[in-house]
């Protein structure tokens, strides 16, 4: 998921840069883009978290908020790099991704052996 999100941002660098710097000048472009791409991404991630929770793979009290936090932290590196040419803590992408993955696993309380009967785990 992380690499796919980064690839989308990297693939549309010019559009992303315009959206972030000039979004108030072009609301007719920004809002459909937000709803069509970004809001959908947050919704899909929340739905995935909810599905994993139902399977007993993760724990997340609020899948929508959890998705927002995870995606926000994930997108910060490429957006900061795009806008100012620096990364958070001047970290390389792989180091950041390793730390983000550990963070995501803890945030989701990822279970390595989910219960075959999710209701039994409650």
Q: Mapped to the 3 state alphabet, what secondary structure does 30-85 carry?
A: HHHHHHHHHHHHHHHHHHHHHHHHHCCCCCCCCHHHHHHHHHHHHHHHHHHHHHHC
Cβ contact 63:53 at 8 Å:
yes
What confidence score (pLDDT) does residue 99 get? 97
Q: Which helix (H) or strand (E) holds 108?
A: none
Q: Is 99 exposed, middle or buried (0-12, 13-18, 19+ CB in 10 A)?
A: middle
pTM of the model: 0.79
**Residue-by-residue pLDDT tens, the chain, 122 positions:** 889 889 988 988 888 888 788 778 877 877 787 777 778 889 999 999 999 999 999 999 999 999 999 999 999 999 999 999 999 999 999 999 999 999 999 999 988 765 555 554 44
């Amino acid at each position: 998921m992380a690499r796919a999100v980064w690839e989308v941002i990297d693939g549309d660098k010019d559009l992303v840069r315009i959206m972030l710097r000039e979004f108030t000048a072009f609301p007719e472009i920004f809002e459909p883009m937000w709803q069509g791409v970004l809001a959908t991404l947050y919704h899909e991630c929340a739905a995935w978290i909810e599905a994993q929770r139902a399977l007993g793979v993760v724990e997340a009290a609020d899948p929508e908020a959890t998705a927002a936090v995870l995606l926000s932290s994930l997108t910060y590196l490429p957006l900061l790099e795009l806008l100012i040419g620096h990364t958070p803590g001047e970290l390389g992408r792989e180091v950041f991704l390793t730390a983000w993955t550990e963070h995501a696993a803890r945030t989701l309380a990822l279970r390595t052996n989910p219960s075959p009967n999710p209701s039994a785990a409650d």
